[in-house]
Structure 1
Amino acid sequence: MTSFPALTLLLLLPLAGTGLCLLFRRKPDLCRAVTLATTLVMLALCVWAFCQQPDAAGWYLREDYPWIERLGARFTLAMDGLSLLMVVLTTFLQVIAVLISWHQKKYPAFFYALLLLMEAGILGVFLASDLLLFYLFWEVMLIPMFFLIGIWGHGRRVYAAVKFFLFTLAGSLLMLLAIIGLYLLHGRQTGDYSFALEALRNTDCGAWEPWLYAGFMLGFLVKVPVVPLHTWLPDAHTVAPAAGSLDLAGLLLKTGVFGILRFAFPLFPASAAASLPLLAFLALVGLFYAAWCAYIQGDVKRLIAYSSVSHLGMIMLGLAAANVLALEGAILLMLCHGLTTGALFALVSMLRRRTGTRELAKLGGMWKEAPIFSCFFLFFALASLGLPGLANFSGEILVFAGTFQVRPLWGALAVVGVVFAAAYILRMVQELLWGERPPGHPWPDLTTLEVVALAPLVFFTLWLGLYPETFLAHLHLPVKILLEQAAPLVAAHGGLP
């Protein structure tokens, strides 16, 4: 590991960019340039980290500084293979978010400042190893999204923003209570009041463990989201601006799954093991229910929003299977979903700018009208469906393989869910690309800037589909360590690896 404070720099850069955007708020072109430059520098820093080698404990980078010593809180940041992939995904998608919002006209400086502030919050969630610091970043990332939906959204944007905020805030407060309870229990047992993850992992929670675990899990499951805690997501996606939907689908939903893997499972392994059947049930219900809801939607964006809930059900099934294959597949599927569904949301926003609508009944004939748009849309729709050779397939096949090892019935039910996914994806593609073209003005095809924004997503969708080992190699050690720390998870499935 290096002594260079790369992790701190990853958090300071977007905060500095936020300040510059607000300082030069009367110069929107300068704010755009500052935002793009900031996100590119951060992506380059993450690519450098991606090329490093971890130490024996699995850490690529680790930094620890005094913070609130009276409370036992420290500014501790750490990057293992899991957080590395999430950080790379965050910095990559934020570059795309800036590009697809390049011509933002409404309060551009404030808009770009919020994008950078949200990026800082999300990165902090993926890097924090102190629970108080983690909670601070968890709350920070919610505020920019609230304003992005409430100010730059359309339709019932205020309703959707408030609903998003209330759902996530309620879950966050329950998690805060659980963090405080764990902190006090550990302090009373050891005399050392600390929020450090490594220290709290050794706490004997006794009869309080199920309640503390429930507090953490409710905070995370709202963010995933699982059915029935999902109702805020379709509303938020439907009205959010392009960059907001991209960040919601690609990044914010992943923080809930990450929190389960990083905090809930290692801190409360016995309760986690007991909850696996319930998690599997919720995952399968979400997989089928959301797929059915997606099939009956007339709004393309709302259809894709429900498809996100269904895909997250597959990811949660991987967590419930809790073995090496399933966990690696679930994490890989998080990356794939971020790319493919994020791209679909970006394309739907581009479609609405051209046509003024997202209703399938008012669209059609895009293959002849806008062939470049149609090629991109078909590519990402098939990737979202799980076509072999494209991103989602590699993650899904690992989840299936791992689930069949421990609970064949769960795996068999999940395979049936793929049929539902094919139904709503192919219906959307058929009606949008080859349906009857309604009368009206011609619709222009994608611009050069839009093609430039989408091309990297195509490249990595192919990379993840054709050779996922580049990314899986970073997961072998952290997944092994996670299962060692949470041994009851393995025992719950009969000791299978």
Structure 2
Amino acid sequence: MLSVVVFLPLAAAAVLAAVRWLPDPVARWGWVAVAAVDLVLVGVLWVGYRTPPPGGLAHEQQVPWIPGVGSSYHVGVDGLSLPLVALTAVVFLACAVHALRGRDRPRSQAALFLFLQSTCLGLFSAADLILFFVFFDLSIVGMYFVIVGWGHGDRTRSALMFFLYTFLGSLALLLGFIGLFVAAEPHTFDMVELAAAPPLLDQPVAGGLVLAAVLVGLAVKTPTVPFHTWLPPAHTDAPAIGSAVLAAVLLKMGTYGFVRIAMPMLPGAWRAWAGVVLAVGIVSVLYGALVALAQTDVKRMIAYTSVNHMGYVVVGVAAAGLAGGDAATRTVAVTGAVTQMVGHGLITGALFLLAGVLHDRTGSYAMGDYGGLAGPAPRLATLFAVGAFASLGLPGFVGFVGEFQVFAGGVATTPVTALALPGILITAAVFLRALQRVFTGAPGPRSPGFVDLRPAETWSVAPLLALALLLGVLPRPLLDVIEPAAGAVVEMVGR
């Protein structure tokens, strides 16, 4: 079943690419149908999910692939990956609905996004480092063509910057994977085996070097300061649905790699360098929020808040390697980090889709071009306000649940974590300022005649925010899945 979930979008993409005579409406609705079926299949996986033993996987499948180097087609999910698989299916369906009105090569666009969906699902399901790397690199290729093909502004430069940065990061990641393979006895790329018997446990220098390579590759993708400079141009010039996927799903590949690869496979090195990781997380939180506050472009503002929110995730996972606290508090921090990944994906994906409406109507993201939009566009104003309050961590939304757990577990482990708390206040100022400038006050030069959200736009965004609200009010079903896996990771790091 899991392999069907992963490769169904890819099969549909192949059909759309091959059958050139398909009418545009069929291609658009076919994309929606395939994404909806994939989401239903993910729901079946969730309903049938049973917590595996620590270090194990559910819905597991393994087939020999490159036996000479100990690599296989090995997939499975646990409490760390299943929520991200579900997030991927939800976000891609929202993007498919949002694109129903698209007129620019809809068949090619649908095929490319379905291909990209398979790479994301494959990465979160991968239990082999080579398989993980293949999906990691293919996602870079897919997003490059999304920006070049359907972006705007200086899209070629932004796409090239995105590709070069993230591809160089992936080379560092590959170097780290080869280091793990060489150190393992017997040599293997199997992630379950490497986590069960971590190599380099008693070799601090070699372990630190391998961890550095892995962290650089993942930090570029996350991105954290100082590897974030590709993100604002890529978001600004990408199409709305491209930005939504980039923020909601692709950024999580980096933070997911922390909990899936770096922490359980290099526990000694992670403990040794957890303080540095924590410092990077705190800087990312504060820097992302402060630079977002200085923006006059709505989309760049949201892009910098992603640096801020991913910083919270880094803070949470860093706490697992620190000496203070106990296993329970560190588990809370890691659980909060994974919950924050899900919450950020839902909320920021919705905000990027809403920001795309501004460009679709007027060709501008500049806040100064607008004002008083709450009058002609009440649905846009309402949903943007909901997304803004959710993003700044208002109680009642899933973002609050994740951030509260990160700080509760992090501060209990080390009080230094509290240095990141001002980031929440600054983020509140960021979004309140944007709401005031765009939706209240005197109408700007582009406000007259502004058309409110159309049905496809409303139905792509509203479910994402409704799910963020539902998981904020009733987080238990999500936390019941995440907590056992987070506890297992903390236990592995403590070895």
The two structures share one fold, judged by TM-score above 0.5: yes
Partners of 2:370 and 2:438 within 8 A in 1: yes
Residue 283 of structure 1 deviates from its aligned partner by 1.0
Aligned to 2:149: 151
Q: Name the counterpart of 2:425.
A: 419
Whole-angstrom distance in 2 between the partners of 1:38 and 1:277: 44
Deviations along 1:157-183, whole A, 9 cap, x unmatched? 011101001111111111111212221
State the alpha-carbon separation in 2 of the partners of residues 286 and 56 from structure 1: 34
AA aligned to 1:220 is L
Aligned to 2:451: 444
Contact (CA 8 Å) 2:64, 2:73: kept in 1 or not? yes
Q: Measure the CA separation in 2 of the matches of 1:26 and 1:438.
A: 44
Q: Which runs of 5+ in 2 are unaligned?
A: 321-329
1:430 aligns with 2:436: yes
User: Deviation of residue 137 (structure 1)?
Assistant: 0.9
SS at match of 2:100: coil
Which residue matches 1:491? none
What residue in structure 2 maps to residue 114 of structure 1?
112
Offset of 1:364 from its aligned partner?
0.6
1:198 paired with 2:192, answer: yes
Alignment of 1:332-411 (within 5 A): 332-411=339-418
Residue 185 of structure 1: how far off its partner (Å): 2.5
| RMSD, matched Cα | 1.3
Larger RCO: Structure 1 or Structure 2 (Cα < 8 Å, ≥ 6 residues apart)?
2
- Measure, in 2, the Cα distance between the counterparts of 1:262 and 1:327: 12
Helix, strand or coil at the partner of 2:406 = helix
> Is this contact kept in 2: 1:339–1:461, CA < 8 A?
yes
- From 132, 135, 159, the equivalent of 2:133 is 135
1:171-211 per-residue CA deviation (whole Å, 9 max, x = no partner) reads 1111111212221222xxx3x33211233342542242111
> Which residues in structure 2 correspond to 1:86-485 (within 5 Å)?
86-186=84-184, 190=185, 192-201=186-195, 202-205=197-200, 206=203, 207-322=205-320, 323-411=330-418, 413-439=419-445, 441-485=448-492
Measure the CA separation in 2 of the matches of 1:405 and 1:203: 28
Whether 2:42 is the aligned partner of 1:24: answer no
Matches within 5 A, 1:41-56: 41-52=37-48, 53-56=50-53
Deviation at 1:86?
0.4
- Give the share of equivalent positions with the same residue, in percent: 36
Distance in 2 separating the partners of 1:410 and 1:291: 16
Indicate the residue corresponding to 2:2 in structure 1. 7
Asked whether the 8 Å contact 1:24–1:109 carries over to 2, the reply is no
Alignment of 1:60-75 (within 5 A): 60-75=58-73
Counterpart contact for 1:20–1:34, Cα < 8 Å = no
- Name the amino acid aligned to 1:115: F
C-alpha contact (below 8 Å) 1:60/1:81 kept by paired residues: no
Offset, 1:114? 1.0
Deviation of residue 485 (structure 1)? 1.3
Judge conservation of contact 1:26–1:109 (CA < 8 Å) in 2. no
Superposed displacement of residue 146, structure 1: 0.3
Question: CA offsets, 1:365-388, max 9 Å, x none?
Answer: 011121111111111111111111
Question: What code does the residue aligned with 1:49 have?
Answer: L
Deviation at residue 244 of structure 1 after TM alignment: 0.5
Q: Please say which of residues 437-446 and 456-465 is displaced more in the overlay.
A: 437-446
SS across alignment from 1:291: helix
Among 31, 35, 40, the alignment partner of 2:31 is: 35
For residue 63 of structure 1, give the secondary structure of its aligned residue in structure 2.
strand
Q: Which runs of 4+ in 1 moved over 6 A?
A: none
* Cα displacement string for residues 202-250 of structure 1 (whole angstroms, at most 9, x for unaligned residues): 2542242111111111110101100010000011000000111000110
Contact 2:13 2:114 in 1 (8 A): yes
Secondary structure (helix, strand or coil) at the match of 2:121 reads helix
Alpha carbons 1:369, 1:445 under 8 Å: kept? yes
Verify the 8 A CA contact 2:292 2:300 in the aligned structure 1. yes
Q: So what's the TM-score if we normalise by structure 2? A: 0.94
Contact 1:94–1:247 (Cα < 8 Å) also in 2: yes
> Distance between the aligned counterparts of 1:181 and 1:320, measured in 2?
22
**Contact 1:174 / 1:219 at 8 angstroms: preserved in 2?**
yes
* Cα contact 1:74–1:130 (8 A) shared by 2: yes
Whole-angstrom CA distance in 1 between matches of 2:198 and 2:312 = 32
Q: How many residue pairs are counted as aligned between the two chains?
A: 478
Deviation of the 1:439 alpha carbon: 4.3
| Structure 1 stretch displaced more, 390-399 or 153-162 | 390-399
Structure 1 residues 455 and 275 mapped into 2: Cα distance closer, same or farther (>3 Å)? Answer: same
| SS at 2:481 equivalent | coil
The alpha-carbon deviation at position 54 of structure 1 amounts to 2.7
